[in-house]
Amino acid sequence: MRLLFALLSGGLFGAGLLVSGMTDTTKVQGWLDIFGTWDPTLAFVLGGAILPMIVAWRVAARRGAAALGTPLPPKPDRRLDPRLLTGSALFGVGWALAGLCPGPAMASLSYGGPQGIVFLLAMIAGMLIWRAIDAGLLDKGRPA
C-alpha cells in the first residue's frame, strides 16, 4: 500500500511541476532574474505550495502518525545556523545557474535529453561528496 501511495503522490508531484512550469529552466531562470526580464508567474506556484502546506502542518500537529500509520517526522530545528545558510545559498546558486532543483530534475528526465541526465548525475555526485565530507567532519568531533 505504501508503494502505491508513493507512486501516486510522486506522480501527482511530477505532474504539478510540469503543469506549473517548474521543469522549464528558462521560466525558472526568468523568475530568478529580478534585475533583468523578471517573470513573476512562479509566485503563484510558490503561493499554491505554501497555502496547502500551512493547513497540512496544522493537521499533522494534531496527529500522532501519518495516514498509513508511519510515524511523522519531528519538527525541524528553527535555528538559522551557518550550515543551513550555506546550504541554502548553494542551492539557490545552483537553481539559478541550472534552472532546476532536485524535484524538477527528476521530473524532466523523461524529456530533458542528455542535459537532464548530466544534471541529475552531477546532483547525485554533489550529494555523495557532501555526505563524505560531512561524515569526515562528524568523525573529527564537530557537533551534529
Average of per-residue pLDDT across 23-46: 85
The domain tally of the chain equals 1
CA distance 96 to 43: 15
The answer to the question of residue 104 being in a domain is yes
Segments of 13-109 assigned E as strands? none
Phi, psi of 59 (to 5 degrees): -65, -45
Angle between helices 25-32 and 42-61 (to 10 degrees): 90
Question: For residue 19, what pLDDT is reported?
Answer: 86
The residue that leads in pLDDT, 3 or 137, is: 3
Question: For residue 7, what pLDDT is reported?
Answer: 92
For residue 20, the enclosing domain spans 2-139
The answer to the question of residue 144 being in a domain is no
Predicted confidence (pLDDT) at residue 138 exceeds the cutoff of 70: no
Predicted confidence (pLDDT) at residue 67 exceeds the cutoff of 60: yes
The answer to the question of residue 130 being in a domain is yes
The answer to the question of residue 131 being in a domain is yes
* pLDDT (tens digit per residue) in 3-34: 999 899 888 988 888 888 888 888 888 888 88
The answer to the question of residue 111 being in a domain is yes
* pLDDT (tens digit per residue) in 80-105: 988 889 888 988 888 888 888 888 88
- Identity (one letter) of the amino acid at 52? P
Q: Which of 76, 79, 91 is nearest to 127 (CA)?
A: 91
